[in-house]
Structure 1
Amino acid sequence: MHPLLADLRVVEASSFVAAPSCGLHLAQLGATVIRLDMIGGGPDFRRWPKSEDGSSFFWEGLNKGKKSVAIDLRQPQGRELAARIIAAPGQGAGLFVTNFPVSGFLAHERLAAHRPDLITVRIMGHASGRQAVDYTVNNAVGLPSMTGPASLGAEPVNHVLPAWDLLAGSHATFSLLAAERHRQATGEGQEIRLPLFDLAASTVGHLGQIAEATVQQSGRERHGNALYGAFGRDFLTADGERVMIVAITEGQWSSLVRALGIEARIEQIEGKLGVSFRIDEGNRFIHRDELFALVEVEIGARSYADLTRDFDELGVCWSLYRDLKEALDEDPEFSGENPIFSNIEHPSGLTYLTPGSATAFSGLKRREPVRAPRLGEHTEEVLSNVLGLTGGEIAKLHDLGTVASA
């Protein structure tokens, strides 16, 4: 964690990946992030992966460093209490992150009636209000038809990483901070709507894929594990290890050619084809079959240890294929040697390697990550400090079943 945003208080009412990851980023940058949790937990409170007793590692991971107020949002009193927490006074407060629907008790207009300078960041499926999640958006912009080997024909391949959710969380974070800067200058609040589909559609446009499909009048073909537009693919060593090798830049290509000792043969191919692989990465892709065949023989004739020693000495861009457990067991960057990680105990009662922020600030000392809260762990604290309720008033809310504690 880094105490850069210690003057900000953000309220989060959300579930799943996109909106909680926004709150996580803000918490890791030092903001106070208060989750409004349903009593007993929301729809992602038991989401996989989870422990043997049912505790969600997913929930513990995405809610580190936050505070939790447990409220019965089905009760009118609970909804009114949530609105009061969201719109509570304070110079760095009045910041709200959610993936709840546009209309309803958490509509921006209703909340802004309590605080006109409120800033709401609302992550949505489609701008129209139609529902969507990462995996429905991904296929809607055509990426599964580009993924996987050509032998699959028209069969789609879904990506296991919820890329649009994660990108939305980051996008929502900087959008909220930009709006907060605008509020400082003008005093104006506003609602920011971030539809997943619009984020995905704009991203493929930024990457040139809309222009490509428009000009070619067709979607991009599949290329398996080959890197589109440059040199890159997986190869097997003599002892059966699979490595990914990438040469995008001129320096990466030159390092690979030297490491494999194939300078003369590359010159012969260049002379035959009348091209330069060194100065034009596109030529490495166009003529990939001939280059892959050459590199495949060289990689297949060497042991993993010999190959990677030469690769590291000459600065080749490469990586070993492995599953996550193998990475945890073998890679020092996936251990306490990496300062982003600490071993901490979580609400599940389990202690495991836990990441903080991936960003390092040269002027700040990195702090250890803070575990996720237990449901309702901060109910009394927030009701007292944020809303100024007395002990008797809080006790009455408990008696009515409007709030709960850990």
Structure 2
Amino acid sequence: MTLPLQGIKVVEMGQLIAGPFAAKMLAEFGAEVIKIEPPATGDPLRKWRLLHGGTSVWWAVQSRNKQSVTLDLRQPEAREVARQLIAEADVLIENFRPGTLENWGLGWDELHALHPKLVMLRVSGYGQTGPYRDRPGFGVIGEAMGGLRHLSGEPGRTPVRVGVSIGDSLSALHGVIGVLLALRHREQHGGQGQQVDVALYESVFNMMESLLPEFSVFQTVRQPAGSSLPGIAPTNAYRCQDGKYALIAGNGDSIYRRLMEKIDRLDLANDPALAHNDGRVLHVARIDAAISAWTAERPLDDVLAALNDARIPAGKIYDAQDIANDPHYQARDMLLEARLDDGTPVTLPGIVPKLLATPGQVRSPAPKLGEHTDRVLEAQGIDATTRELWRSRGII
């Protein structure tokens, strides 16, 4: 099978999450990705969270389908090798602080002059321009500046983390979109490459729905609302008899009516003031109380079965064990069985999006540090004697 990005060569100079996540997605759909890592230590993600045999199991997800080449980009010989690799690539991905590559002679102006067809994805906290460009920025800072952290948590409580580094991942997704758009433009306009500038805070801000227009028109500052969805009713988490929670989204007009009929509240179903969302929002406390009274008398499984039969969107709150044992995840190939370096079985997330004709693939496991250095450098004409000398000097 020919994958959509087969023939596209990517050099990844990022680390941790945002840049590597973008490269991971491109690799899953056929791109050849050469990941440049620092000698000895490698990408810090190799040591993040839970380790098996000294390496993070997260690494098995983030770096599958990639080749690992070690280069100390602080040294001129390494930068020259990187320059050669970039000259043969279609895409360069980097997520250093703005100005880092320029200090190494690998900035956009230099690389564009060297390779006019190059698409360069740059992911940073605040973007390549603007008064904050030089500030260090991680996903958590982007989430805060983008507006998400203010909305997370319960009213009057400390804003909470959403659970994962969503700012980084959102930036990676925006980066992938930007790369694909730039490749399409290159195809249509004589092979001209361009820079794709992705800021963490902007990627989060792009998800903030009506946050800014509501402030602009009404001077309303949206506040955290816990498990509810302000301005759209009813949508909330409702406690069941067994102490578990059902997430119920009964906010469409016809869905709302079916929900009220299911919980035997025809008074609320037939109330003309509640027929549409704007009216329900004014009475959301009364509606939520009715739903809560109904769920409190039934275990979660019974609640979900009844609501699914009535075609009312509802679900439980999944943890990792729920995901690993769920038949729908399994049927959709979202639980991929693999093995770590020592043969230990590991279940990895599947590939999205689902393309019916050319679905993404896992063609190779995440590489060991520097696993492909010799092969890649030999292809660049760097002989074994030189490579051993460079190893002794810490260049590779």
**TM-score when normalising by structure 2:** 0.88
Which sits farther off after the overlay, 47-56 or 363-372? 363-372
Take 1:39 and 1:182, find their aligned partners in 2: how far apart are those partners? 36
Secondary structure (helix, strand or coil) at the match of 1:150 reads coil
> Partner residue of 2:194?
190
Contact 2:238 2:247 in 1 (8 A): yes
**CA separation in 2, counterparts of 1:297 and 1:246?**
16
Match status 1:228 vs 2:230? yes
Matched, 1:217 2:219: yes
Tell me if the contact between 2:68 and 2:368 (Cα under 8 Å) persists in the aligned partners: yes
Distance change (3 Å), C-alpha of 1:238 and 1:351: same
Q: Which residue matches 1:397?
A: 387
For residues 99 and 82 of structure 1, the distance between their equivalents in structure 2, rounded to whole angstroms, comes to 15
Which residue of 334, 339, 346 maps to 1:345?
A: 339
Q: Which residue of 2 aligns with 1:288?
A: 284
The one of 157, 160, 163 aligned to 2:160: 157
Q: Offset of 1:334 from its aligned partner? A: 4.0
Task: Please list, as runs of the form range in 1=range in 2, the aligned pairs for 1:5-404 lying within 5 A after superposition.
Answer: 5-88=5-88, 93-100=89-96, 101-102=98-99, 103-105=102-104, 106-127=106-127, 128-152=133-157, 155-184=158-187, 185-204=189-208, 207-230=209-232, 231-262=234-265, 264-267=266-269, 270-271=271-272, 275-277=273-275, 280-328=276-324, 330-335=325-330, 337-347=331-341, 349-364=343-358, 367-368=361-362, 370-385=364-379, 387=380, 389=381, 393-401=383-391
Task: Go from structure 1 to structure 2 and tell me whether the alpha carbon gap of 1:78 and 1:149 turns closer, same or farther (over 3 Å shift).
Answer: same
Which segments of 5 or more consecutive residues in structure 2 lack a partner in the other structure? Answer: 128-132
Whether contact under 8 Å (2:28, 2:361) holds in the other structure is no
Look up the SS of the partner of 1:165 in the other structure. Answer: helix
Between 1:235-244 and 1:365-374, the stretch displaced more is 365-374
Distance 2:360 2:284 in 1: 44
Give me the whole-angstrom Cα distance separating, in 1, the residues matched to 2:66 and 2:224: 42
Asked whether the 8 Å contact 2:339–2:346 carries over to 1, the reply is: yes
CA contact (8 A) 2:51 2:57 kept: yes
Q: Can you give the 5+ residue segments of structure 1 that lack an aligned partner in the other structure?
A: none
Asked if structure 2 preserves the Cα contact closer than 8 Å seen for 1:398 and 1:404, the reply is: no
Alpha-carbon deviation of 1:365?
5.6
Q: In structure 2, give the amino acid aligned to 1:109.
A: D
Asked if the contact 2:170–2:204 (Cα under 8 Å) also holds between the matched residues in 1, the reply is no
Per-residue deviation, 1:188: 1.6
Instruction: Find the aligned partners of 1:340 and 1:135 in 2 and give their Cα distance.
Output: 27
Count of residues paired in the alignment? 384
Whole-Å Cα distance in 2 between the matches of residues 45 and 17 of structure 1? 8
Deviation at 1:74, TM superposition (A): 2.8
For 1:365 and 1:21, the matched residues in 2 are separated by: 18
Q: Pick closer, same or farther for the CA change 1:368–1:251 going to 2, 3 Å.
A: farther
Change (3 A) 1:75 1:267: closer
Task: Give the drift of 1:76.
Answer: 1.3
Q: Deviation of residue 251 (structure 1)?
A: 4.2
Contact 2:352 2:360 in 1 (8 A): no
Q: Which residue of 1 aligns with 2:130?
A: none
Give the counterpart letter for 2:274 in structure 1. Answer: S
Structure-2 change in CA distance of 1:49 and 1:252 (3 Å) = farther
Question: Partners in 2 of 1:310 and 1:116 — Cα distance?
Answer: 60
Distance 1:352 1:254, change over 3 A: farther
**Displacement after TM superposition at 1:31 (Å):** 0.7
SS of 1:200's equivalent in the other structure is: helix
* SS of structure 2 residue aligned to 1:36: strand
Q: Which runs of 4+ in 1 moved over 4 A?
A: 402-405
